Amino acid sequence: MKILISISLFLTFATCVNGQNNFGSLSSNFTPTNSLYINPSSILDAKVWLDVNVAGVGSYTNNNLVYLKDQRWFDISKDAIKGESRLTDEDVGYNQGKNKYHAYNRNFATGPSAVWSQGNHAAAISTGARSYLGVRTLPEYGGNFIENGVQNYVVQHDINYTVSNLKVAALGFGEIKGTYAYTFHKSREHMFMGGIGLSKLFAIGGAALNVYDAHFFVDDQDILPIAHFEGDAMYTPNVGLNPKGGWGLDLGFTFQKMKGNARRYYPNSKKMGCNSLPYQYKLGASIMDIGSLKFADGDYLFSGYNFDSYNWVDYADQDVNEDNVTTALEDAESNITQGQARKQNKIRLPTFASVQFDYNLWASKIYVNANIVQGIPVPKRRFGSRHANSLSVTPRFESFFFDFAIPFSLYEYRYPQMGASIRLGPITIGTDKLWSWIKTHDIYGADIYVHVKLPFRYNPKCRSRMKSNRAGRRRNRDRSPTKCTI
């Protein structure tokens, strides 16, 4: 149980000082290098022929236990730049009294990437790295132990405790993703599109703890009797890039209701005069990050527990085996190499399903987007971290040189957030948690993301054709007869 509390403490505090889905920049028709991370078919009918991502970084954090009292990230960041810190232990608060606690953190960095969209086809190659931290179903008493400790918090001694289905997971990986999308059917004003993405994963590191069922009793400061414990733990003692990291799969579908006949519409193509045809609305559905991060033999350590009636003596002062931290309870287990986890060397990716709706409100400039993200639960006997659930509504203005969006979202369907995103030319900066930056209040998390892109609006063949069309119109004006009045 000491390792359980230690990992929970680490993850909870790590996420408190450390994007969800970047809702503000996710749906723009001018940034398909972003939208492919919510639906691979969304890269079709982009308003740019080629979108090149130079670099991007972002981090999102939320939890429902630890918070900073009456703070805002703008002030904290300003002090950090000066090499100062305004935070003390008195600024940290604990939201006690919840039945279950959770913590969630996602970080990403994108490298050179590109999306090409022309006619009925679109393709992308993208590079980057991601990391996730997740704690799920931490019981109420766990919040009290995190704040007050176990050994000296006598208020919670002499009580029987139960833990079930607790999952803690951390994973980091690099990836190279290839995406292809195709418009497979057109009918009058309707376009039907499908897409697929395949990622080669490069494992960097990971750790996971599953507690399936545990019953224990805090006797006093020295003895912690464990009546029953079932759980598995694994981690990678060394961090490094491993090409044997597994694979990830994305699948998506999009339907577009066009403002005109779509049968002969070929986006970013010389066909149909290189003209664009706006949509009235589009509806998409996708399932993302299907797969697992895999670690090679010798790169991870595993311990499995299933025992009864064990007195953990001097639990607070036990030295952790630095060579294998999963062996904290090895004296109680007769065969620590056996466990219930089906794939001891794999951590499942945070798979999620999503439905997206985008409506063209005015002149193909002002849109409103609605998005549902549902994390797929990790099977009981598997290691993994569930993606956070969310519901968002995002009005936006978009053009080739300027985008502005204000996403309103519900984290886990119940915690409201308001964000903002702005793109000026090649640079995008945004957050899904704007109030935590500009308003002084209790903050349970943070979010920020930045992208640098080089968009190429027109197919070179379209560019030359449009120049000749403009020249032809000028010649026609010059040749037109001049009216004379007497």
> Does 475 map to a domain?
no
Q: pLDDT value at position 304?
A: 96
pLDDT grade, residue 477 (50/70/90)? low
Q: Give residue 86's pLDDT.
A: 79
pLDDT score of 14: 37
**pLDDT-based confidence at residue 15 (cuts at 50, 70, 90):** very low
Helices 140-148 and 2-17 pack at an angle, to 10 degrees, of 80
Residue 476: pLDDT band (50, 70, 90) is: low
Place of tokens 């992308």: 124
Residue 135 domain flag: yes
**Pick from 167, 144, 153, 243: nearest CA to 4:** 167
Of all residues in the chain, what percent carry a pLDDT higher than 70?
91
Answer yes or no: is 98 within a domain.
yes
User: Mean pLDDT across the stretch 147-171?
Assistant: 93
**Span 373-394, mean pLDDT?**
95
Q: How large is the average pLDDT for residues 128-152?
A: 93
**For 91-108, what is each residue's pLDDT tens digit?**
999 999 998 999 999 999
Cross-strand pairs, 188: none
Eight-state DSSP code of residue 205: E
pLDDT band at 23 (very low <50, low <70, confident <90, very high): confident
pLDDT at site 472: 52
Residue 160 forms part of a structural domain: yes
- The answer to whether residue 239 sits within a structural domain is yes
Q: Which residues contact 52 (CB under 8 A, 6 or more apart)?
A: 33, 112, 113, 114, 453, 454, 455, 456
pLDDT tens digits, one per residue of 38-91: 999 999 999 999 999 999 999 999 999 999 999 999 999 999 898 888 788 899
- 359: tokens are 């409506």
Per-residue pLDDT reduced to its tens digit, 278-312? 999 999 999 999 999 999 999 999 999 999 999 99
pLDDT digits (tens, 9 = 90+) for 241-284: 888 899 999 999 999 999 999 998 999 998 877 788 999 999 99
Question: Closest by alpha carbon to 201, among 249, 251, 132, 238?
Answer: 249
Which comes out higher in pLDDT, residue 4 or 374? Answer: 374
pLDDT one-digit tens code per residue, 328-354: 899 999 999 999 998 999 999 999 999
- Reference 269, options 411, 8, 461; nearest CA is 461
Question: Mean per-residue pLDDT for 127-133?
Answer: 96
Percent of the chain at pLDDT > 90 equals: 77
User: Residue 469: pLDDT band by 50, 70, 90 thresholds?
Assistant: low
Least reliable range by pLDDT among 9-23, 174-188, 393-407, 443-457: 9-23
Could you tell me if 167 and 134 are in contact, meaning their C-beta atoms sit under 8 angstroms apart?
Answer: yes
Residue 357 inside a domain? The answer is yes
Q: Which whole-number Å values give the CA distances from 363 to 3, 274, 283, 399, 424, in the listed order?
A: 58, 19, 19, 11, 20
Query: pTM for the full model?
Result: 0.90
Question: What mean pLDDT is predicted for residues 358-370?
Answer: 98
CB of 106 closer than 8 Å to CB of 60? yes
pLDDT at 317 over 90: no
Residue located via tokens 């920020």: 448
Q: Give the CA radius of gyration of the chain.
A: 27
Task: With respect to residue 201, please indicate whether it lies within any of the assigned structural domains.
Answer: yes
Question: Residue 177: pLDDT band by 50, 70, 90 thresholds?
Answer: very high
DSSP letter at 377?
P
Q: Which of 111-125, 202-216, 465-479 has the lowest mean pLDDT?
A: 465-479
State residue 31 phi and psi, 5-degree precision: -130, 65
Whether residue 449 is contained in a domain is answered as no
When pLDDT is cut at 50, 70 and 90, the band that residue 18 belongs to is: very low
Is residue 358 pLDDT above 80, yes or no? yes
Distance CA 389, CA 350 (A): 11
What average pLDDT does the structure give for the chain?
A: 90
CB count within 10 Å of CB 236 equals 22
What pLDDT is attached to residue 173?
A: 97
Q: Is the dihedral of CA 437, 417, 289, 296 positive or negative?
A: positive
Pick the closest to residue 168 from 214, 112, 121, 207 (CA basis). 207
pLDDT for the residue 481 = 54
Write down the pLDDT at residue 12: 43
DSSP state of 27: S
Domain extent for 226: 2-63+92-362+375-386
Q: What is the total count of domains within the chain?
A: 1
Residue 16 banded pLDDT, cuts 50, 70, 90: very low
Cross-strand bridge partners of residue 115: 51, 124
pLDDT, position 286: 98
The Cα 64–Cα 446 span in angstroms is: 13
Q: Is the pLDDT of residue 110 over 70?
A: yes
pLDDT for position 468: 55
